[in-house]
Structure 1
Amino acid sequence: MSDRTNAADKARRARLATPTDLKADATRDISAALRGLLADVFALYIKTKNFHWHMSGHHFRDYHLLMDEQADQIFAMTDPIAERARKIGGSTIHSIGQISREQRISDNDAEYVEPQDMLAELRDDNQRLVTIMREVHDTADSYGDVGTTSLLEVWIDETERRAWFLFESTRGGPGAND
């Protein structure tokens, strides 16, 4: 990279710099963890809406409404995650392509998925998201970033609740496979 390119890149980054008392390595590591989390949250949001739109069967109304409610809750995390990264002087997601490159929650492009399989897949994805959020929490906690850890603690609880509802919806018993 030429000196001219380096200077222009530094100038662009300076325009987005946000004052923070966190050290540069904390900003780098926490914002990177938040970017990955944001990619996963967007992936889970789209998958939840996909299943919401393509739900069928005897429990259509209940499952359709459950997924809509859960999608709203998932989407509500996106802006605070991105803004948290910016508040601490980092950057966030720029594009759908970046989401695709960074997401760890897998897509489901199948034409048809059985309702119980949708619920089970979303349950597993929410459980995976809890694990990811705990990892981000550990990263933020290691740098003393209580702002990020506080947000994550609420989202972990909400995500565990979504996983629990999905688990209960997939339990065996009369009518469970309808």
Structure 2
Amino acid sequence: MAALNSQLNERDTPTDYSKNDIKSIAKAINVLLANAYALYLKTKNFHWHVGGRHFRDYHLLLDDQAQQIFATTDVLAERVRKVGGTTLRSIGHISKLQTIKDNDEPYVSSSAMLCELMNDNKVFAAAMRKAHKAVDEMGDVATASVLETFIDEAERRTWFLLETSEREAD
């Protein structure tokens, strides 16, 4: 073990990406990771506080969506580590990087919750497409592949929220 440790140094990475590519990949994915946490918590917040005649349906929908969003966090963070980058370390770090805004309002109507989450998921999908383009240009097919799945999931969440909110208006 000592021999192995003496062969490793701080410049070693688990990949053949350049230091600049590693920093670029980590930066792009850490913003997505921060947004995943922000969107997860907002979705759970709305799940906990939703009300009205469609309470059960909305409560279950938002819980399912929150679980799906949370499931992305470990995959994204581990992807950053796999390429040799560092990832989020605290709630403060998340708050510095997130672009999805928190909602601390004491009351939000169910229809406003659905609309806000729909728009946030659209923003999240667009950010993932932008990151996908960047990592694809670096030849990082593994991260691009992960993002393709997560983009599809975000678009599905957006669609469900749209259809649910339109049904509310009917």
- Superposition RMSD on alpha carbons, in Å? 1.5
User: Structure 2-normalised TM-score?
Assistant: 0.92
Partner of 1:64: 59
- Structure 2 residue aligned with 1:104: 99
Cα offset, 1:61, TM superposition: 0.1
Deviations 1:116-165 (A, max 9, x none): 00000000000000000011101101100000000000000000000000
Q: Indicate the SS of the match to 1:14.
A: coil
1:29 Cα deviation after fit: 0.3
CA distance in 2, matches of 1:84, 1:19: 11
| From 10, 17, 25, the counterpart of 1:14 | 10
What pairs up with 1:69-80 in 2 under 5 angstroms?
Answer: 69-80=64-75
Amino acid at match of 1:14: E
CA contact (8 A) 1:18 1:86 kept: no
Q: Structure 1: which 4+ aligned runs deviate by more than 2 Å?
A: none
Question: How many pairs align?
Answer: 162
Runs of 5+ in structure 1 lacking a partner?
1-12
CA distance in 2, matches of 1:31, 1:153: 17
Structure 2 portions without partners, runs of 5+: 1-8
Structure 1 residue 21 displacement after superposition:
1.2
The equivalent of 1:92 in structure 2 is 87
Letter in 2 for 1:140: V
Structure-2 residue corresponding to 1:114: 109
Partner of 1:83: 78
Paired position in structure 1 for 2:28: 33
* Mapped contact 1:18–1:88 kept (Cα < 8 A): yes
Identity of aligned residues (%): 54
CA distance in 2 between partners of 1:118 and 1:43 (Å) = 15
